[in-house]
Amino acid sequence: MNQRQHFEQLYRSSSDPWAVKTAWYERRKRELLLASLPREHYRHGFEPGCGNGETTMALLERCDQLVAADFAESAVLLCNARIQREDRRQLHLQKLQLPQEWPQVPPGGFDLLVVSELAYYLDDADLALFSERCLTSLAAGGHWLMCHWRHQAPDLLQNADTIHAQIGASAALKTVVEHRETDFLLEVWERL
């Protein structure tokens, strides 16, 4: 079973497979993620791996335009069902086979990328492509937030600490936020 099929199966069996709406860990982490964003408002945000839309809903309050994408069709349908009519004009929800498929980048780039609980599901080649596309899509002065669980699980292909160290080593980025706990690592970098 490939990753797309794995996530399709998860979202078909539950509309909230990780209890992101109800679990204290997930709610607290999301609040820390939102509080870690250096700016109150962004023009163009991109959330790859939007899942069922819990973080997407909160990001809509912080972005003029938000692209949210997932490769699991069931996740995209769940996210779409959550979005209120008035939010539809600012949300561009897409089913994309990330990182091979990528959304249209706005002129000047995205000024916000939010990658939460996604990068460690990518194999080495896809992670390299994903990281390159994130960096080249990010506007100068834009923020790239990454947040990942630090424990092992059978379906994870990468280690959170290693991924964050690789991204943070880029000469094109400077760290502006670092929050490390036993359970998760949250960092924000700014594009130089």
- pLDDT value, residue 4: 63
pLDDT tens-digit series, residues 2-49: 766 766 676 667 666 666 787 898 899 999 999 999 999 999 999 999
CA-atom Rg of the chain in angstroms: 15
Closest CA to 17 of 56, 59, 75, 82: 75
Average pLDDT rounded to a whole number, residues 161-167: 97
Residue 156, both tokens: 């994870």
pLDDT of amino acid 22: 79
Name the residue with higher pLDDT: 17 or 172.
172
Show the 3-state SS of 137-166.
Answer: HEEEEEEEEEEEECCCCCCCCCCHHHHHHH
Round to whole Å and give the CA distance between 175 and 23.
29
pLDDT tens digits for range 130-157: 999 999 999 999 999 999 999 998 888 9
CA distance linking residue 192 with residue 190, whole number of Å:
6
Nearest alpha-carbon partner for 72 in 8, 165, 143: 8
d(CA 132, CA 117): 18
Query: Would you call the peptide bond into 38 cis, given omega within 30 degrees of 0 as the criterion?
Result: no
pLDDT digits (tens, 9 = 90+) for 46-93: 999 998 899 999 999 999 999 999 988 888 888 888 886 556 779 999
Cβ 49 vs Cβ 24: under 8 Å: no
pLDDT digit string, tens, across residues 114-132: 999 999 989 999 999 999 9
Residue 147: alpha-carbon gap to chain centroid:
8
Q: In Å, how far are 108, 137, 155, 181 from 21, measured between CA atoms?
A: 34, 29, 22, 21
